[in-house]
Amino acid sequence: MRRHHHLFPFPCSLRCGRAVGILFATLLTLSAMAQNSEHNFGVTKRLDLFNSLYRSLDLQYVDSLDAKKNIETAITAMLSELDPYTEFYSETEGAELREMATGKYAGIGSPIVFRRTAKRCAFATPYEGKPAQKAGVRTGDVIIAVDGKDFGDYTGKDIGAYSARVTEALRGEPGSTFELTLRRPGERRTFKVRITRENISLPNITLSKVFPDGVGYVVLNRYTEHAASELRTAILSLMQQGATSLILDLRGNGGGVVSEAVKIVNFFVPKGKEVLTMRGRTANLHQTYLTEGEPIAPTLPLAVLVDYGTASAAEITAGALQDYDRAVIVGVRTYGKGLVQQPIDLPYDASAKITVAKYYIPSGRCIQAYDFKRRNADGDPLHLPDSLTTEFRTTTGRIVRDGGGILPDVVVAGDSLEPFVANLRESDVYFDFLVRYRQAHPTIDEPEQFRLSDADYKDFVDYLKANGYVYKSASLEYVETLRKFIRSEGYEGRTATALKALIDKLQPNLEADLQQWEREVRKGLESDIVYEYYYEAGLRRHNLAEDPDFKAARNLLHDLPRYHRLLSGAPEP
């Protein structure tokens, strides 16, 4: 073929090239259509198989089937193969999806917990200013009946279903009134209160204050509707009170409505700046969000606190401000959720929340940390290692990376919650002591000043001992599992003495563990007691005294030369 090339003049070559291009494009289109047709056939085929199998089971299986339970189990199993954010909501669960988006529900405003000792559900710290709290309901009050309908002692195997039944009875139409029968711990007699249900909307802003040094501090808990407008009001108020810098606390904020994040970024960066771009499988799912207004605090020195609980829309806020070099991020690496969900309506009043796109923040990076298509032997999604991430650049040229959440500019090593302390705080005995303490102390000191006395801590230790607090360390459980493997492989004779000695050393010693972890136990107990009296805002005020993230951010805002060096990427002197 090479020896004939000189026979074709240029115009003919051009025409042939165009023809080949058109042919190639046509072949690609036909190939795509064929693949799409094959895919559609595969979907139809397997749906027919499932439908036929279930119809046969329904007609011929030895026992009658529960269609709702069986089909929803199949749906849940299918979605579990995708990602944890793609979820199905039956006709009775639609309110849950709406609550996630709006932060509102109709009820009495208190979480409940199942109490094994009481064999019933009880209230856990009613929300401040909501119907339950205004009616005098306290933490630990055991729920006996609603409008005379007794729930009975729990005797089954599904605690979740029992608790859900109680929750459903407490919720209802706003304005409706009912009679609640309760039993207070330590008392035999029951008592009744009348409560009127309301639309419950938890505040997005938990705490907002200015410190004497001019540092403003505001906690944003969630990104439901109106989060941006509430934060805007808080920031303007702080500035009017004399704030010359700001700490925005996004720790534990799991995100929510994306548009709220865009508005919040706009408080600090100019109009017309890209905040994020969504990219889905189809063109209609591609969308770019720009700031639309003038910022309210374009030059206010800003630090943003983040942790592993910072996710989704909260990561968009922190990441966009980092990419524009507008704020110094302080804390530990965030969760890494770079996926976008969209609610859809399904037949028979069911609904779903489906992951439809990934989002990319201004530097071009996607911070999604988990690969749900690739999982380890335990079925957990793989976390993208740092070695496989890609470099991107902020506005001033600082290096940031994709694939692993937002890495703070100032990393602060936080205190990890010791397993002994975590298990203790989740126990019934611990809960009972909090209830007992609340009943014995009508008031306590202000959150910033409250400290547990030595006498009260001794009372706590004695209470644990007297009520038989039982626990087992994870180390002991692992060793006992190891002993089973050793026995199955025939090595027990060689290792019996060493294993027994190790197991003896790992046996629970409540007194020794309480002494070893006294500082951590005291800290947790003080926080939980403060929360009972002063709620979320009081807890935040109490914890700031020993908050390493807050201290690091505050010190940074006092050292503006270092603050600006960090944002510019200039080396430390």
**Spatial contact of 98 and 256, defined as CB atoms under 8 Å apart:** no
**Spatial contact of 301 and 557, defined as CB atoms under 8 Å apart:** yes
The end-to-end CA distance of the chain, in Å, is: 68
**Residue matched to tokens 């136990």:** 521
Assign 536 to helix, strand or coil. helix
Structure tokens at 407: 């890495």
Torsion of CA 384, 387, 392, 398, to 10 degrees: 120
Comparing CA positions, the residue from 209, 228, 201, 128 lying closest to residue 540 is 209
pLDDT at 25: 54
Nearest-10 crossing angle of helices 313-323, 258-266: 30
Report d(CA 18, CA 9) in Å as an integer: 15
Alpha-carbon separation of residue 133 from 9, 140, 150, 169, 194 (angstroms): 90, 13, 22, 18, 12
Per-run averaged pLDDT (10 residues), the chain, 573 residues = 36 44 52 69 87 92 90 91 89 68 77 91 93 94 95 88 91 92 90 93 92 97 93 98 98 93 98 95 89 97 96 96 98 94 87 92 94 77 83 95 93 81 91 93 96 95 91 83 87 84 85 90 96 95 94 97 94 77
pLDDT at 97: 66
Q: What does the angle CA 257 – CA 104 – CA 233 come to, to the nearest 5 degrees?
A: 65
- Which H or E element spans position 371? strand 370-375
- Which H or E element spans position 280? strand 274-280
Bridge partner residues of 328 (DSSP): 303
Assign 559 to helix, strand or coil. coil
Q: Quickly count: other Cβ atoms within 10 Å of residue 251's Cβ.
A: 23
Report d(CA 560, CA 198) in Å as an integer: 47
Alpha-carbon separation of residue 160 from 77, 121, 261 (angstroms): 19, 11, 34
Comparing CA positions, the residue from 335, 230, 328, 317 lying closest to residue 265 is 317
Comparing CA positions, the residue from 381, 361, 315, 313 lying closest to residue 84 is 381
Q: How many helices (H) and strands (E) does the chain have?
A: 17, 23
